[in-house]
Amino acid sequence: MTLNWWENFFHGVALDFWRAAISDEQTHAEADFINQQLQLPIGAAILDVPCGNGRLAIELAAFGFELTGVDIATEFIAEAVANAAARNVNVEWNNLDMRKLDWTEKFDGAFCFGNSFGYLADDENADFLAALARALKPGARFIIDAPAIAESLLPHLMEKRTIALGDITATIDTRYDHELGRMFNDFTFSRAGIDDKRAASQRIYTYRELIELLRGAGLKFVASYGSLEGEPFKLGAHRLLVVCEK
């Protein structure tokens, strides 16, 4: 596996599979959760990183917030531009690496959703959070969606699974390396008789390690949830949502 696997993973069939996996209802529910937890007035500036195809940024822009989206996937950014235009909302899109945030105290709030944290090495993950914190105004909130946290992932870990969505079938072979604290996934996307194989890897932090990373970036813990409905996080929860504040 190449070290920077994410640079070439997010295009074509992988993005089509992701689109099919996320319903409009999920997008609405996540946008409502973000709106409630950031506790911001209409017109506030919010950063979505990485933003993917802009589904959450566009939804929040429709609420009346000023959104900025960052993503490395050129195909997704192009789709975000088109989708925002179709919804008649204004969003500032930035096609760049999430490690290259160079704003200082610009945003009233920010979020990182879609299981997008942990692709990088430990120092790079810490650098991303530090750059994110610098981009926030004092008192601004940040929400991180971390379903690949150890307490959520490991109790349910499957070495092999197959998921069919629309005309795409994805077979995922998973290996967890306890010495590295990383999960390695080999994806085989199958569509119309053609197989597309891609590899991915993600750092699996424990709950405590993630909280310490956030604190190290200058972000104070506010709350953690195991679902969008606000259930307290606990061992075995399928999702971790952490709210923190600069």
**DSSP run (H or E) holding 241:** strand 241-245
Cβ atoms of residues 215 and 112 within 8 Å: no
Greater confidence (76 vs 205) lies with 205
Q: How confident is the model at residue 9 (pLDDT cuts 50, 70, 90)?
A: confident
- Residue 49: the pLDDT is 97
- Residue 202: the pLDDT is 95
Q: How confident is the model at residue 3 (pLDDT cuts 50, 70, 90)?
A: low
229 exposure class (CB count in 10 Å sphere: 0-12, 13-18, 19+): exposed
- What's the one-letter identity of residue 150? A
Q: How far apart are CA 189 and CA 208, in angstroms?
A: 34
For the question of whether the overall pTM of this predicted structure is more than 0.85, the answer is: yes
If you average pLDDT over residues 18-25, what whole number do you get? 90
Q: What percent of the chain has pLDDT over 70?
A: 99
pLDDT digits (tens, 9 = 90+) for 93-103: 999 988 889 99
pLDDT digits (tens, 9 = 90+) for 139-168: 999 999 999 999 999 999 999 999 999 999
If you average pLDDT over residues 114-129, what whole number do you get? 93
- Residue 2: the pLDDT is 57
pLDDT digits (tens, 9 = 90+) for 43-95: 999 999 999 999 999 999 999 999 999 999 898 899 999 999 999 999 999 99
Sign of CA dihedral 224, 226, 232, 235: negative
Q: How confident is the model at residue 11 (pLDDT cuts 50, 70, 90)?
A: confident
